[in-house]
Amino acid sequence: MTLGPIGFMQPWILLALAALPAIWWLLRFTPPSPKVVEFPPTRLLAELKPTEETPARSPWWLTLMRMLLAALLILALARPVINPDEGRFTGEGTMLLVVDNGWASAAYWNARREAIEAAIDRADRGDRNVLIVPTAATDEIGEALPADAVRERIAGLMPQPFAPDREAVTATMKEALKETSGYSVIWLSDGLDYGHAEDFASCSARSPTAAAQSNPARWRPRWASGMPAPKAARSPAGSSLEPRVRSPGTIRAVTARGEPLGEAPFRIKRGETEAIAPFDLPLEIRNQVARLQIKGQRSASAVHLLDAQSQWHRVGIVSGESQEEAQPLLSPLYYVERALSPYADVLIPTEANVATAINDLIDKQRVSTIVLADIGRLTPATQEELEAWLDKGGVLIRFAGPRLEQGGDELLPVALRRGGRSLGGALSWGTPQPLSPFEDKSPFYGLDVPEDIRVNRQVLADPAVTMDAEIWATLTDGTPLVTAKRQGDGWVVLFHVTANSDWSNLPLSGLFVQMLRQTMALGPSQILSSADEGDGTADAAADTPRRAATTALAPVQTLDGFGQLVPPPLNAAPITPDQFAKTVAGPDHPPGYYGPSGQARALNIVKTDTKLVPLPDVAGASTVGFYTLKKPFALEPWLYLAALGLFALDILAVLALSTGLGFRRPHRATAAMVFAMLLAAAATAPHTAQAADTDTVETAAKSDADAEEFALNATLKTRLAYVLTGDSRIDRTSQDGLLGLSKVLGARTALEPGAPMGVDIETDDLSFFPVLYWPVREDAEPLSDETLAKVDAYMKQGGMIVFDTRDQERVAYGGSQGKALTRLIGRLDLPALEPVPGNHVLTRSFYLMNSFPGRWDGGSLWVEAEPANEAERNARARRTDGVSSVVVTSNDFASAWALDDSNRPLYPVVPGGELQREMSFRAGVNLVMYALTGNYKADQVHVPALLERLGQ
């Protein structure tokens, strides 16, 4: 039985509420209380035999309290429970549970299981059948079953590593619901839109045999921007592995054996849908990365697999063109570099000597692929060096050109006929020739050939020489366009056109990029030099370079819904190489590795062009809430507790009435006091032991709140600070002085400081303030070790302290105040001090000055002595921008800066009057600018402006 969100486990007990009127009638009487009568005998004799006895009625409030006690006991026995999520389980008839169990559901699968179990429990209490419809189902939808039978079925319901097929489920649901007269729908969506959402909602909303409309209640996850779903990308410069991710967290790079190679945190910026988490790893380590996964998430959506095609290669490009820098768009290197740069480390030697450049690429750079653009003949030594490199697995890609038309050398897959074939030539054709589709034996098989690619000129294989090379691409007239030949463990590949657009527009197409990538992938990621052989540093995947497979790729390992590599399911089917790039992960092709060892290719859920779209509001489906359910709240113990409290109050009330305490006026206050004391003792006794701890917690919380408020006040605006000395007069002068200086700074500079703040040098954090003004008292005491350490850290981390001895003396450590300063900070690790030199930055940080007066004039301003060693000066400049951490004066700056609310001076200045005060303000402006900008004005670029001002 339910009443709104409140349900009763034993509703039949509520029938006892009908007895409350009889309980009222029984409880409204109570024995009369004894009367208190004065003792006079005559009055006593007169009332010995009363003429009539009448029972006294019980007070109305006592009867009402007892009635409430009885009602509470009845309600408690009925075991009421508050169900906060009762509104989610509306409707009658069969409960249709539509569950999105695709790859996007594993991240919150536990919450989804709890929601499913809660829905089944609700159907069980309502004697309703349940039909489970998984949208990523691998089998047929069953029939509606009682709740107990459905619980056994959901034990095998697991997330799948592919997207839901809502269109197929819609057709299946129509067939399964033909005989169902009525139902209500709960749709546990995964929050993503795969298309056909409105048709799916419309199908689940109307029963074919019922006139009633039932809008499905759609539940969704709490996130609204998509799943993590990392996808790999490479930096243009090849310096890092840059996966793109769609939710904040940490991504890990893992080897095939599960060994972590690195972690990269990432955060999604406001207004963006994805972020880049770069891994700056050496090439040898980067090529060992087998998968990227989001740390702490067990989901196929948090894993991206990498295969051999994802490995980074070093590619060297050498050209025979001598004027490529003058016209870069016509350079043979331009298009090759642009095509390979996003996928490899492209190296272009600056050495003009081809032999030296190739030697450097092989021995020093250890490239795996070399591209030779329009180089006709190689020297014998260079040719031998390339042959040895090819035997180790290198890939040599050569492009034709005017030089190669002369026949070339022996390091070619085919012998070439002298003279090229071109439009209008001896061996010409009437129109430019297009490309033929790639044959199945070609590594380019499966690539789409654009119809607009045309070849105007090419080099031809000599028909008089037997050709034992492989033909990977041809023109429509059958002439070879790309030929290749195996050389040891490597390959020699020849493009019979130029690497630029002189002979063909192929280099201008996207097909050119794909062909170069496929060719580059034939070799290892790097080739060891002779000196490095046998040291075990070669990449494991590069040991035996193989040609890409041309037969169907069978599944080897696949991902389950939780992102674990497992043996492939029985229904997993092979994929042909030409269709692999177009294949979308599904029941027949789950994500994972396909193909033989060494040639396996990775099929991922999310590809580089995949867009994840959040599921919008769907017409015909109302969003009820999230997966996270609020647990039912039992009211039974609280009702018993309330009844117990009323019972205690009833006992006290009966005792008061039976003893007549309620009628003795002289004792009313006493009885009320005793009653209040009893209640207070009962309430506070269990918590006496915790009182001290509570006070401590409140004190600590208050202290933390004060520290947070102090930090906010100090950081929201730039503020000057002064040290509280404990002398109210000195502290007031410091506050007025820094406030006056702040007004001058706001009026004359770009700085708009806030009101100055006083700091307790022992307890407050000093790191918020760039400048700290410290007036020295005559009776200053030495600082504690902890305070000294804090002051020392503040100065060494870039802070500046202005010690003002206020004694008008010329030396910093003489006289009464100098002795006070020595007592105060004598144990501090202070640098050597010197009077401000004439060329110091402080003399020109804002105003050009040669003295720094305050209320008094004549005292020197002391700063850190300039190091004599150039290295030390550079180190200091890097650490603190050349700012002196200590400034000592005796001229009482604060008194000269102090102004009242009307901006009138508070203290006279001696002996220079208001001109000296102006110079004092300028000194203060220079100090603050010096602390904020450092050695900025020491740059030589300011010298002409300063000299011009000096001349004025």
Q: Are strands 457-458 and 421-422 parallel, antiparallel or unpaired?
A: antiparallel
CATH number at residue 139: 3.40.50.410
Residues 115-166 have pLDDT tens digits of 888 788 777 777 788 888 888 875 666 677 888 788 877 777 888 888 888 7
List the one residue out of 912, 849, 865, 860 whose CA is nearest residue 888.
Answer: 860
Residues in contact with 664: Cβ distance below 8 Å, sequence separation at least 6, in sequence order: 36
List the one residue out of 168, 501, 510, 520 whose CA is nearest residue 331.
Answer: 501
First to last CA, the chain: 96
Checking if the pLDDT of 258 tops 60, the result is yes
Checking if the pLDDT of 305 tops 70, the result is yes
Angle separating helix axes 668-684 and 636-658, nearest 10 degrees: 150
Query: What residues does 314 pair with on adjacent strands?
Result: 345
Report the length, in residues, of the chain: 952
Lowest mean pLDDT among 240-244, 465-469, 825-829: 240-244
**Mind giving me the DSSP string for 612-676?**
--B--PPTT-EEEEESPPPPPEE-HHHHHHHHHHHHHHHHHHHHHHHTTTTT-GGGHHHHHHHHH
Q: Are strands 886-889 and 800-804 parallel, antiparallel or unpaired?
A: parallel
List the one residue out of 336, 347, 277 whose CA is nearest residue 312.
Answer: 347
- Tell me what pLDDT residue 213 has: 46
Checking if the pLDDT of 434 tops 70, the result is yes
**What dihedral angle (degrees, nearest 10) is formed by the CA atoms of 447, 453, 455, 460?**
10
Indicate if 850 and 891 belong to the same structural domain. Answer: yes
Residues 850-894 have pLDDT tens digits of 899 999 888 889 898 876 555 445 545 444 567 888 999 989 999
**8 Å CB contact between 738 and 731:** no
Query: What residues does 162 pair with on adjacent strands?
Result: none
Is 824 a domain residue? yes
The more confidently predicted of residues 441 and 947 is 441
Residue that the structure tokens 């709960």 belong to: 186
Domain housing 470: 313-532
Is 431 a domain residue? yes
Angstrom distance (rounded) from CA 905 to CA 740 = 9
- Tell me what pLDDT residue 600 has: 80
**Mind giving me the DSSP string for 889-929?**
ESS-HHHHH-B-TTS-BSS--BTTHHHHHHHHHHHHHHHHH
Lowest mean pLDDT among 246-260, 265-279, 449-463: 265-279
List the one residue out of 28, 4, 9, 161 whose CA is nearest residue 75.
Answer: 9
Indicate if 765 and 834 belong to the same structural domain. Answer: yes
Angstrom distance (rounded) from CA 27 to CA 24 = 5
Residues 699-716 have pLDDT tens digits of 444 466 777 888 888 888
**What dihedral angle (degrees, nearest 10) is formed by the CA atoms of 329, 330, 335, 336?**
-140
Angstrom distance (rounded) from CA 701 to CA 808 = 46
Checking if the pLDDT of 721 tops 70, the result is yes
Strand intervals (E) in 122-216: 130-134, 183-188
Q: The tokens of 799 are what?
A: 């802070």
> How many CA atoms within 13 Å lie on the side-chain side of 263?
8
> How many CA atoms within 13 Å lie on the side-chain side of 305?
23
Indicate if 341 and 384 belong to the same structural domain. Answer: yes
List the one residue out of 316, 253, 318 whose CA is nearest residue 526.
Answer: 316
Angstrom distance (rounded) from CA 889 to CA 646 = 76
Provide the domain count of the chain. 4
Across 404-408, average pLDDT: 77
> Which strand (E) or helix (H) includes residue 99?
strand 94-99
Across 409-420, average pLDDT: 83
Q: Highest-confidence range of 314-323, 622-631, 741-750, 931-940, by mean pLDDT? A: 741-750
Q: The tokens of 728 are what?
A: 């109210």
Residues in contact with 675: Cβ distance below 8 Å, sequence separation at least 6, in sequence order: 652, 656
Is 674 a domain residue? no
List the one residue out of 299, 249, 167, 227 whose CA is nearest residue 591.
Answer: 299
The more confidently predicted of residues 392 and 818 is 392
Is 418 a domain residue? yes
Angstrom distance (rounded) from CA 196 to CA 193 = 8
Indicate if 793 and 850 belong to the same structural domain. Answer: yes
Q: Which whole-number Å values give the CA distances from 104 to 100, 276, 601, in the listed order? A: 8, 21, 23
Across 28-34, average pLDDT: 53
* Strands of the 260-266 sheet, one edge to the other: 260-266, 249-254, 291-294, 303-305
The single-letter code of the amino acid at 188 is L
**8 Å CB contact between 227 and 104:** yes
Indicate if 470 and 432 belong to the same structural domain. Answer: yes
Q: The tokens of 241 are what?
A: 């592995």
CATH number at residue 834: 3.40.50.12140
Is 860 a domain residue? yes
Checking if the pLDDT of 750 tops 80, the result is yes
Is 549 a domain residue? no
DSSP type of residue 421? E
Q: The tokens of 666 are what?
A: 């002289």
Across 218-230, average pLDDT: 58
Across 182-187, average pLDDT: 77
- Tell me what pLDDT residue 747 has: 92
Q: The tokens of 857 are what?
A: 């004039």
CATH number at residue 480: 3.40.50.880
Angle separating helix axes 20-27 and 60-77, nearest 10 degrees: 150
Q: Answer with the one of 203, 222, 241 that is the final residue of a domain.
A: 222
Q: What does the mean pLDDT of the chain come to?
A: 75
Q: Highest-confidence range of 448-452, 518-522, 857-861, 874-878, by mean pLDDT? A: 448-452
Q: Answer with the one of 169, 195, 222 that is the final residue of a domain.
A: 222
Q: Are strands 565-566 and 470-474 parallel, antiparallel or unpaired?
A: unpaired
Is 695 a domain residue? no
Indicate if 40 and 127 belong to the same structural domain. Answer: no
List the one residue out of 150, 305, 309, 311 whose CA is nearest residue 230.
Answer: 305
List the one residue out of 721, 731, 791 whose CA is nearest residue 759.
Answer: 721
Indicate if 513 and 443 belong to the same structural domain. Answer: yes
Q: Which whole-number Å values give the CA distances from 771 to 135, 635, 720, 756, 813, in the listed order? A: 65, 61, 6, 11, 22
Angstrom distance (rounded) from CA 646 to CA 133 = 52
SS (H, E, C) 527-581: CCCHHHCCCCCCCHHHCCCCCCCCCCECEEEEECCCCCEECCCCCCCCECHHHHC
Indicate if 357 and 473 belong to the same structural domain. Answer: yes
- Tell me what pLDDT residue 664 has: 45
pLDDT band at 730 (very low <50, low <70, confident <90, very high): very high
DSSP type of residue 720? -
Indicate if 360 and 463 belong to the same structural domain. Answer: yes
Indicate if 72 and 17 belong to the same structural domain. Answer: yes
**8 Å CB contact between 701 and 754:** no
Across 626-630, average pLDDT: 58
Classify residue 519 as exposed, middle or buried by CB count within 10 Å of its CB (0-12, 13-18, 19+). buried
pLDDT band at 570 (very low <50, low <70, confident <90, very high): confident
The neighbour count for residue 796, using CB atoms within 10 Å, is 13
DSSP type of residue 716? S
Residues 658-685 have pLDDT tens digits of 665 544 444 455 555 555 555 555 554 4
Indicate if 73 and 107 belong to the same structural domain. Answer: no
Checking if the pLDDT of 278 tops 60, the result is yes
Checking if the pLDDT of 629 tops 60, the result is no
Angstrom distance (rounded) from CA 425 to CA 427 = 5
Residues in contact with 424: Cβ distance below 8 Å, sequence separation at least 6, in sequence order: none
pLDDT band at 645 (very low <50, low <70, confident <90, very high): confident
Across 551-557, average pLDDT: 84
Is 701 a domain residue? no
Indicate if 80 and 96 belong to the same structural domain. Answer: no
Across 884-909, average pLDDT: 90
Checking if the pLDDT of 763 tops 60, the result is yes
Lowest mean pLDDT among 55-59, 231-235, 319-323, 397-401: 231-235
Lowest mean pLDDT among 462-466, 473-477, 938-942: 938-942
**8 Å CB contact between 179 and 167:** no
Burial track 133-154 (b if 16+ CB lie within 10 A, e otherwise): bbbbbeeeeeebbebeebbeeb
